[in-house]
Amino acid sequence: MSLLKQFRMAAPSLHMINKLATALLLMGIHQATLAQSIGGLSRAQSTLQTLKDNLDVILPIAAVIIGVIIFVLYSAEVMRKDDAIRWGIGVLLAGSAAELVMLLWK
C-alpha cells in the first residue's frame, strides 16, 4: 500500500485529533485569562520571586559548606587530590555563578 493511500485512510482520524487539540487550546486560553483576571498570576509571580530571593541566599552558603566538606574529606585522605580539586572548582564556579547572577540582575 502506498504512503499516500495510508495517509488518506488516516486523514479522518487526524482531522478529529486536530479539532480536539484546537478545542483544548481555546479552553486553555480561556482558563489563563480567567486566572489573570482573579489575580492568580500575580500570586504565582510573588511566589517565584520569593523562591528566587531565597535561592540567592542559600546557593552561596551551600557552596561554602560543600567546599568545607570537600576540604575535610581531602584532609582525612578519603578523597584524592585530583577529585578534590575537580569538585572544588565545580563548587566554586557554581557559587560564583549564583553570586554573579544575583549581582547582575538585581
Same domain, 51 and 95: yes
One domain for residues 49 and 14: no
Distance in angstroms (rounded) separating the CA atoms of residues 43 and 49: 10
Shared-domain flag, residues 48 and 98: yes
- Rounded distance, CA 74 to CA 65, Å? 14
Distances (CA, A) of 61 to 56, 65, 84, 86: 9, 6, 19, 19
Average pLDDT over residues 82-92: 89
Q: What is the pTM of this model?
A: 0.52
Tell me the pLDDT tens digit for each residue of 6-43. 767 777 777 788 888 888 887 777 766 666 666 667 77
Residues 35-83: pLDDT tens digits? Answer: 666 666 777 788 888 888 888 888 888 888 988 999 999 999 898 989 9
Domain of residue 75: give its range: 44-106
Instruction: Examine the domain organization and report whether 58 and 83 are in the same domain.
Output: yes
Q: How many domains does the chain have?
A: 2
Based on the fold, state whether residues 30 and 56 are members of the same structural domain.
Answer: no
